[in-house]
Amino acid sequence: AQRVTQPEKLLSVFKGAPVELKCNYSYSGSPELFWYVQYSRQRLQLLLRHISRESIKGFTADLNKGETSFHLKKPFAQEEDSAMYYCALSGPAGNKLTFGGGTRVLVKP
């Protein structure tokens, strides 16, 4: 069975500090991994996916198959990064997403 674990329910950091959100997964095949974000009073939206290898809004995430992790990082957090972040896994076919429990990020001024 596929599973996604986000060990931190809440991360509180000061503006300008680095932030790292942890995500570990369990999946027998080759996973497709995503980070989705939900800002206050907005819809859930895609932040980034591992195959694109992009940096979005300063965030990056590296897939580590050996450690089965897909941690999200940003070197300098901004107040507008305060949101709920979900790590998600898709597979083996179609668009079924398995979500982690989510991490709420609070960036303090």
State which of positions 38-77 bind another protein (CB under 8 A). Answer: 43-46, 49, 51
* Chosen residue from 59, 86, 105, 107 binding another protein by CB under 8 A: 86
Nearest CA-CA partner of 64 in 31, 16, 97, 91 = 31
In this complex, which beta carbon is closest to another protein, that of residue 34 or of residue 59? 34
CB within 8 Å of 66: residues ≥ 6 apart = none
Contact status, residue 91 vs residue 29, Cβ threshold 8 Å: yes
Min separation Cβ 40 and another protein, Å: 13
Given the rule CB under 8 A, which residues bind another protein? 32, 34, 43-46, 49, 51, 86, 90-102
